[in-house]
């Protein structure tokens, strides 16, 4: 495949430089199959370019070819913006894809071997489109996916003893490992392997980065804070509290001569591999409590109870206006008025509104990561309720 350094040289000259054995022409059938197989990897501009090649399949070679280039599409772009109005839009779309560094999305610029490997599900399209092998290519990938690294690191920051730079270092190692492992065929069944070949590099890298960060937390940040209740119990029993207010997560805490005799702290923590989700739940509970406290301070317990029951939040059963009016001995219009007042307060108080926004975003993140968990109807409703109030 074309190396990034070669593309960079071409970009300086504002010309597409492709291999001499690029396919140049593809039939309608091959182009449609490529669109179907590589759909997840292609930009809208590339799809438009391919559709142009499909519609003009009999004529695009003769219409786009120049004397200076063997590849019709490359020659067409390298000749500069055309005068014909019907070709100007095509030229601009090629330029957009070219400047994004993903010019090999366009199949007629790939070699026959590269094209066949994609449509036969032997490699994912990004394995051909991106330069994951050369040093220059890897450097470009690290720069391009830096926003993804920071986004994932922010999800873990503050949820362990690791500093931001430590988490980012682990994330970068995950990204490098992703470049090495992406596109390798698995030992799965053919059907599963075909599904794996549909993962974009960004999707694959995000999973690997998550695994590396969690691994770093488990091996480097194995510290568990001792709760105040445990400290008080220790003081009551021994008359003092030990200076060290933390314990190793690997310390054996089981009772001797029992089934738990050799167990560590982490053996007593359920679903360690999903620790990030547990921490998200803690953050949600904390944010909701701060919102609830602000509402009670402003309107009192009765209005708070009505508001919670109306939306079905905070473990309150959702009730209709008539039910609420009967329960709290007020009119139907009063129920609507109370809820409107609370919602107005939330939307106009910057601090409270920011917390509700965080609830909404964090709930979405939790649910987006539910492929490996069982979704709870209460979690779904939490998202819907927060969205309704937030909107």
pLDDT at residue 175, rounded to an integer? 92
Q: Return the percentage of the chain with pLDDT > 70, whole number.
A: 70
**Which DSSP letter does residue 239 get?**
S
Q: What is the pLDDT of residue 105?
A: 92
What gap in Å lies between CA 133 and CA 12, rounded to an integer?
22
Phi, psi angles (nearest 5°) of residue 43: -75, 165
| Tokens 């939306």, located at residue | 311
Cα angle value 276/278/281 (rounded, 5°): 110
Confidence of residue 159 (pLDDT cuts 50, 70, 90): confident
Residue closest to 361 by CA, chosen among 391, 387, 381: 387
pLDDT in tens, 75-134: 889 888 888 888 999 999 999 999 888 999 999 999 999 999 999 988 899 999 998 888
Residue recorded with tokens 């499909």: 54
Cβ-contact 103, 109 below 8 angstroms: yes
Q: At 162, is the pLDDT very low, low, confident or very high (cuts 50, 70, 90)?
A: confident
Give the model's confidence band at 281: pLDDT under 50 very low, under 70 low, under 90 confident, else very high. low
**What DSSP string runs through 261-322?**
TT-BGGGGSS-GGGHHHHHHHHHHHHHHHHHHHHHHHHH-HHHHHHHHHHHT-TTPPP--HH
Cα distances (Å, whole numbers) of residue 272 to 162, 212, 214: 17, 14, 10
b/e per residue, 83-110, with b = 16+ CB within 10 A? eeeeeeebbebbbbbbeebbbbbbbbbb
Q: Which 3-state string (H, E, C) describes 7-65?
A: HHHHHHCCCCCCCCCECCCCCHHHHHHHHHHCHHHCCHHHHHHHHHHHHCCCCHHHHHC
Coil, helix or strand at residue 376: coil
Q: What integer pLDDT is reported at residue 348 of this predicted model?
A: 87
CA–CA distance, 23 with 38 (Å, rounded to integer): 17
Higher pLDDT, 184 or 47: 47
Among the listed residues 94, 76, 70, the one whose alpha carbon sits nearest the alpha carbon of residue 20: 70
∠ Cα 277 279 285 (to 5°): 105
pLDDT of residue 313: 78
More confident residue, 159 or 212: 212
pLDDT at 30: 94
Is the pLDDT confidence value at 59 over 70?
Answer: yes
Nearest Cα residue to 173 out of 129, 128, 219, 130: 219
Mean pLDDT within 3-8: 46
* pLDDT over 90 percentage in the chain: 24
Give tens-digit pLDDT for 16-53.
887 778 999 999 999 999 999 999 899 999 999 999 99
Query: What is the band of 181 on the pLDDT scale with cuts at 50, 70, 90?
Result: confident
Choose between 197 and 373: higher pLDDT. 197
227 or 119, which is more confident = 119
- For 365-378, what is the mean pLDDT? 39
For residue 199, pLDDT beyond 60:
yes
Higher local confidence (pLDDT), 273 or 63: 63
> With 70 as the cut, is the pLDDT of residue 316 above it?
yes
Band of residue 354 on the pLDDT scale cut at 50, 70, 90 = confident
> What sign does the dihedral 256-261-264-267 (CA atoms) show?
negative
CB 27 within 8 A of CB 33: no
Residue 33: both structure tokens together:
């199959």
Q: What angle do CA 213, 358, 364 make, to 5 degrees?
A: 65
Looking at every residue in the chain, the average pLDDT score rounds to 76
Predicted confidence at residue 110, as pLDDT, reads 92
Question: Which of the residue ranges 50-64, 135-149, 228-242, 267-281 would you say has the lowest mean pLDDT?
Answer: 267-281
Cα separation, 116 vs 123, in Å, equals: 9
Q: For residue 101, what pLDDT is reported?
A: 86
| Tokens found for residue 391 | 């909107």
Output 88 or 364, whichever has higher pLDDT. Answer: 88
Q: For residues 71 and 64, is the Cβ–Cβ distance under 8 A?
A: no
Q: Residue 153: is its pLDDT beyond 50?
A: yes
Higher-pLDDT residue of 258 and 121 is 121
Helix runs in 120-256, H state only: 125-129, 135-144, 146-156, 164-181, 190-196, 201-220, 228-238
Res 2 pLDDT > 90: no
pLDDT score, position 114: 92
Q: What is the pLDDT of residue 276?
A: 43
Q: Is residue 224 pLDDT above 90, yes or no? A: no
Q: Round to whole Å and give the CA distance between 161 and 197.
A: 36
Instruction: Specify the pLDDT at position 282.
Output: 63
Domain residue extents for the chain: 4-125, 145-220, 273-390
pLDDT, residue 301, reads 92
Among the residue ranges 155-169, 306-320, 374-388, the one predicted with the least confidence is: 374-388
């Amino acid at each position: 495949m074309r190396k990034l350094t070669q593309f960079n040289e071409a970009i300086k000259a504002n010309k597409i430089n492709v291999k001499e054995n690029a396919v140049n022409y593809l039939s309608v059938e091959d182009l449609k199959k490529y669109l179907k197989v590589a759909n997840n990897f292609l930009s809208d501009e590339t799809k438009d370019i391919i559709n142009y090649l499909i519609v003009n399949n009999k004529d695009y070679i003769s219409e786009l070819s120049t004397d200076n280039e063997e590849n019709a599409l490359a020659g067409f772009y390298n000749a500069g913006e055309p005068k014909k109005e019907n070709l100007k839009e095509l030229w601009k779309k090629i330029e957009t894809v070219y400047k994004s560094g993903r010019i090999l999305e366009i199949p007629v610029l790939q070699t026959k071997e590269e094209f066949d490997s994609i449509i036969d599900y032997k490699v994912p399209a990004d394995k051909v489109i991106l330069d994951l092998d050369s040093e220059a290519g890897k450097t470009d990938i690290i720069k391009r996916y830096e926003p993804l690294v920071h986004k994932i690191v922010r999800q873990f920051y503050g949820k362990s003893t690791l500093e931001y730079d430590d988490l980012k270092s682990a994330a970068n190692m995950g990204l490098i490992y992703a470049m090495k492992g992406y596109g390798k065929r698995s030992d799965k069944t053919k059907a599963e392997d075909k599904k794996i070949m549909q993962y974009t590099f960004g999707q694959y890298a995000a999973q690997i980065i998550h695994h590396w960060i969690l691994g770093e937390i488990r091996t480097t940040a194995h510290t568990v804070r001792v709760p105040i209740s445990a400290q008080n119990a220790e003081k009551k029993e021994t008359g003092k509290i030990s200076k060290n207010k933390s314990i190793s997560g690997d310390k054996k805490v089981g009772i001797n001569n029992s089934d738990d005799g050799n167990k560590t702290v982490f053996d007593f923590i359920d679903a360690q591999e999903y620790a990030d989700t547990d921490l998200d739940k803690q953050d949600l509970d904390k944010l909701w409590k701060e919102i609830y406290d602000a509402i009670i301070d402003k309107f009192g317990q009765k209005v708070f109870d009505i508001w919670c029951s109306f939306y079905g939040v905070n473990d309150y059963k959702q009730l209709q206006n008539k039910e609420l009016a009967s329960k709290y001995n007020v009119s139907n219009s009063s129920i609507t008025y109370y809820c409107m007042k609370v919602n107005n307060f939330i939307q106009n108080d910057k601090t409270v509104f920011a917390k509700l926004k965080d609830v909404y975003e964090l709930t979405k993140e939790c649910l987006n990561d539910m492929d490996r968990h069982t979704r709870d109807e209460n979690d779904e409703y939490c998202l819907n309720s927060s969205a309704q109030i937030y909107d």
